């Protein structure tokens, strides 16, 4: 096993919090502040890991299992995600379905741990999270299916390795539609503006953040790290699709991919600084729109 | 980019504008979306028949862009300003459901097109189904919305769909006929806008579902 096989997995594990740091720093610069250091998410996680956890007497083992099982599902999903042309650690036909449902398992564990606390706010956040996830899932799977049809491959590594500049010039409109759908899925699943505000302090408007309010110490560290990994993975799919540099040279391809991720971080920060959150009732409309875009991409590809 | 990809991009944008129109409740942005769609549809002759008879294609495109991209939105925005209405508040079919209806209209149009045995066209296999879907969506907008302005927009969308199908299937319609059709549409939209303006002046609203309850 050479080093390149491990690169997407280890790269994701190491660099994921940095992407979060880039987003935060971009937002700070837009607000005219100097902002936290780029490595701040790492220090946050280390600080939390050194603390002890406090558990309410009303919670059961489900609450304690949630963050651990969630992080395990996320790391499992990361083994399936390629870095553009560099194939993932594990790849087999149909791995994109496993990828989608490992993310589903992470969501299930977060939701069930939130419900276990018995807090009404956390129940509200859980119901919103599940509603939006149910609407985002068809957009993700249909979008990936469109690229599958185009590239005649049914594994994430195969798909992204087959997307080249020639694919883009032949099927540019369809791929652009898929990229738009994946972008909407990314901001929904990773709980970013305009769907959810990760820095909000008002429980009534929270979606993802409200579910993890009762976690502390190492548990919270696992959750923060898990959501950084989730952002990294969905971003990897988007960047792998949009940056079609397939020179065959692993270092060059990997470099282009990492540069693409940095640009994605800047773009996310820019969007978050220049947009307000959508009202909750309008988010389903956005997600149904993403599904319609993915459907249109399938139509374009299959004709 | 090859001409085929250009046509495909234009058709994709037409479908996206269809869906945006279905999903948007602000009348102002609806008018803009329909204007963009009109410009996109007007570009089709340039991509399809730009080679032979270039002057004709350019004349059609210029006329279409001027009428659908500039005159219609200006007239409709003016009516909107006079009427003081900004939103389609309670459509008969909700906006999210409308987007799904639009997506199924596209699928239905694709299914119909495979059963029609049309001659192969230079526009590729997508132009006719997209045109059909646009017609269906225009009709759906007309029956599912309350405001007179949105119904005018639905009429323009139906016309865009017919135009897309026509351009894709029939290459050699004389320029005079095409421009005559454009003039007809222009006059129709003009009259409908004036009617909507007078409805709003007379009754302080442009809700067409209340028209049957009016007594003189």
DSSP letters for B89-155: -S-SS-HHHHHHHHHHHHHHHHHHHHTT-PPP-TT-TTHHHHHHHHHHHHHHHHHH--BHHHHHHHH
Residue-wise pLDDT for A86-108, tens only, equals: 888 888 998 999 999 999 999 99
Contact B140, B101 (CB under 8 A): yes
A9-31: per-residue pLDDT in tens?
898 999 999 999 999 999 999 99
Q: Which of A132, A160, A182 is nearest to A297 (CA)?
A: A182
Strand partners, A86: A83
Q: Alpha carbon B94 to chain centroid distance?
A: 20
Name every chain A residue with its beta carbon within 8 A of the beta carbon of B110. 299
Minimum-distance CB partner of B96 among A288, A293, A303: A288
Q: How far is B176 from chain A (nearest CA, A)?
A: 33
Cβ-contact A95, A59 below 8 angstroms: no
A289, A291, A294, A301: best to mutate for the B interface, most B CBs within 10 A: A289
| Alpha carbon of B54: minimum distance to chain A alpha carbons (Å) | 25
Q: Do A299 and B106 touch (CB under 8 A)?
A: yes
- Nearest chain A Cα distance for residue B12, angstroms: 7
Query: CA of B215 to nearest chain A CA: how many angstroms apart?
Result: 38
| pLDDT level of residue A195 (50, 70, 90 thresholds) | confident
Distance CA A142, CA A180 (A): 12
For A170, the closest chain B residue by CA position comes to: B5
B15 vs A: CB within 8 A = yes
For residue B184, the model assigns a pLDDT of 83
Q: Any CB–CB contact under 8 A between B118 and chain A?
A: no
Q: Please enumerate, as own/partner, the contacts of B44-48 that have beta carbons within 8 Å and a separation of 24 or more.
A: B44/B7, B44/B10, B44/B123, B44/B127, B44/B163, B44/B164, B44/B167, B44/B168, B45/B167, B47/B3, B47/B6, B47/B7, B47/B10, B48/B7, B48/B122, B48/B123, B48/B167, B48/B168, B48/B171
In angstroms, the Cα distances linking A16 to A39, A235, B215 are 11, 10, 68
- Please, which residues have CB within 8 angstroms of residue A188's CB and are 6 or more apart in sequence? A132, A133, A136, A195, A196, A283, A286, A287
What is the predicted pLDDT for the residue at A188? 92
Name the percent of chain A in helix, strand, coil, to the closest 5: 75, 0, 25
More confident residue, A159 or B176: A159
Q: Which residues contact A62 (CB under 8 A, 6 or more apart)?
A: A112, A113, A116
Q: What is the CA radius of gyration of chain B?
A: 18
Q: Is the Cβ of B175 closer than 8 Å to some Cβ of chain A?
A: no
pLDDT at B172: 65
Kindly write down the DSSP assignment for every residue of B8-60, as one continuous string: HHHHHHHHHHHHHHHH--BHHHHHHHHHHHHHHHHHHHHHHHSSSSHHHHHHH
Question: Among A189, A205, A157, which residue's Cα sits nearest to residue A290?
Answer: A189
State the ipTM, two decimals: 0.71
Residues 6+ apart with CB under 8 A from A32: none
CA distance A157 to chain B (A): 26
User: Which residues have CB under 8 Å from A65's CB, separation 6+?
Assistant: A109, A113
DSSP B67: I
Residues in B touching A174 (Cβ below 8 Å):
8, 12
Of the candidates A177, A293, A303, which has its C-beta nearest B126's C-beta?
A: A303
Range of the domain at B102: 3-214
DSSP state of A204: G
Give percent above pLDDT 70 in chain A: 99
Structurally, chain B folds into a number of domains equal to 1
- B12 → closest Cβ in A170, A291, A296: A296
Contact by Cβ (8 Å): A204, A194: no
Nearest to B12 among A169, A173, A291 (CB): A173
Chain A residues contacting B, CB < 8 Å?
169-170, 172-174, 177, 284-285, 288-289, 291-293, 295-296, 299-300, 303
pLDDT for residue A299 is more than 50: yes
Asked whether the beta carbons of A214 and A231 are under 8 A apart, the reply is no
Nearest-CA distance B52 → chain A (Å) = 25
Q: Is the pLDDT of residue B28 over 60?
A: yes
Lowest mean pLDDT of A127-141, A143-157, A253-267, B142-156, name the range.
Answer: B142-156
The mean per-residue pLDDT over the stretch B157-176 comes to 81
Q: Do A172 and B1 touch (CB under 8 A)?
A: yes
Q: Which chain A residues contact residue B15 at CB under 8 A?
A: 296
d(CA B216, CA B214): 7
Q: Which of A135, A172, A173 to mutate to test the interface with B (most CBs of B within 10 A)?
A: A173
Identify all chain A residues contacting B126, using CB atoms and an 8 Å cutoff. 299-300, 303
Q: Which residue has the higher pLDDT, A289 or B204?
A: A289
According to DSSP, the residues that pair with B26 across neighbouring strands are B87
Q: How many CB pairs under 8 A join A and B?
A: 53
In this predicted model, what pLDDT tens digit does every residue of A51-90 receive, in sequence order? Answer: 998 898 889 999 999 999 999 999 999 999 998 888 888 8
Q: Is B166 on the interface with A (CB under 8 A)?
A: no
Three-state DSSP class for residue A86: strand
**CB-CB neighbors (< 8 A) of B100 in chain A:** 288, 292
Answer yes or no: do A173 and B8 touch at CB < 8 A.
Answer: yes
Q: From CA A131, how far away is CA A136, in angstroms rounded?
A: 9
Q: Are A145 and A274 in contact (CB under 8 A)?
A: no
Give the distance from residue B94's alpha carbon to the nearest chain A alpha carbon, in angstroms: 10
Q: Which of B120, B109, B123 is nearest to B168 (CA)?
A: B123
Of the listed ranges A152-156, A296-300, B114-118, the one predicted with least confidence: B114-118
Say if the Cβ atoms of A291 and B103 lie within 8 Å: yes
Find out whether the peptide bond into A194 is cis, omega within 30 degrees of 0.
yes
pTM to 2 decimals? Answer: 0.84
């Amino acid at each position: 096993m050479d080093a390149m096989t491990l690169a997407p997995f280890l790269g994701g594990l190491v660099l994921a919090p940095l992407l979060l740091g880039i987003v935060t720093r971009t937002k700070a610069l837009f607000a005219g502040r100097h902002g936290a250091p780029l490595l701040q998410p790492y220090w946050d996680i280390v600080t939390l890991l050194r603390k002890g956890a406090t558990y309410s007497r009303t919670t059961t083992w489900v609450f304690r299992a949630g963050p651990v099982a969630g992080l395990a599902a996320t790391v499992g999903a990361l083994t399936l995600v390629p870095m553009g042309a560099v194939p993932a650690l594990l790849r087999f036909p149909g791995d994109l379905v496993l990828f989608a449902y490992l993310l589903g398992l992470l969501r299930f564990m977060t939701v069930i741990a939130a419900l276990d606390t018995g807090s009404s706010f956390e129940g509200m956040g859980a119901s919103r999270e599940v509603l939006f996830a149910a609407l985002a899932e068809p957009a993700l799977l249909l979008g990936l299916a469109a690229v599958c049809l185009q590239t005649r491959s049914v594994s994430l590594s195969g798909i992204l390795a087959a997307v080249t500049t020639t694919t883009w010039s032949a099927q540019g409109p369809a791929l652009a539609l898929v990229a738009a759908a994946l972008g909407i899925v990314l901001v929904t699943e990773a709980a970013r503006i305009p769907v959810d505000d990760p820095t909000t302090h008002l429980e009534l408007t929270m979606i993802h953040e409200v579910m993890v309010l009762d976690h502390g110490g190492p548990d919270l560290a696992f959750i923060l790290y898990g959501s950084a990994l989730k952002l990294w993975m969905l971003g990897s799919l988007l960047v792998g699709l949009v940056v079609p540099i397939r020179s065959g040279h692993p270092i060059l391809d990997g470099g282009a991919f990492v540069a693409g991720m940095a640009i994605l971080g800047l773009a996310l920060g820019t969007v978050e600084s220049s947009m307000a959150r959508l009202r909750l009732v309008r988010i389903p409309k956005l997600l149904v729109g993403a599904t319609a875009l993915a459907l249109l991409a399938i139509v374009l590809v299959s004709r | 980019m090859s001409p085929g990809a250009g046509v495909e991009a234009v058709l994709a944008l037409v479908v996206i504008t269809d869906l945006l129109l279905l999903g948007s409740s602000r009348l102002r942005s609806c008018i803009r979306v329909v204007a963009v769609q009109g410009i996109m549809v007007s570009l089709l002759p340039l991509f399809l028949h730009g080679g032979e008879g270039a002057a004709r294609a350019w004349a059609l495109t210029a006329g279409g862009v001027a009428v659908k991209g500039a005159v219609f939105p200006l007239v409709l925005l003016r009516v909107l300003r006079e009427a003081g209405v900004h939103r389609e508040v309670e459509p008969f079919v909700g906006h999210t459901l409308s987007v799904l209806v639009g997506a199924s209209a596209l699928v239905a149009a694709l299914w119909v097109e495979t059963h029609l045995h049309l001659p192969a066209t230079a526009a590729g296999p997508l132009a006719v189904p997209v045109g059909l879907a646009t017609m269906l969506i225009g009709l759906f907008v007309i029956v599912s919305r309350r405001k007179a302005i949105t119904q005018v927009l639905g009429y323009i969308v139906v016309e865009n769909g017919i135009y897309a199908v026509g351009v894709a299937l029939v290459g050699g319609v004389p320029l005079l006929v095409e421009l005559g059709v454009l003039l007809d549409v222009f006059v129709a939209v003009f009259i409908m806008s004036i009617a909507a303006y007078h409805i709003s002046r007379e009754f302080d609203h442009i809700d067409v579902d209340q028209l049957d309850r009016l007594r003189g």
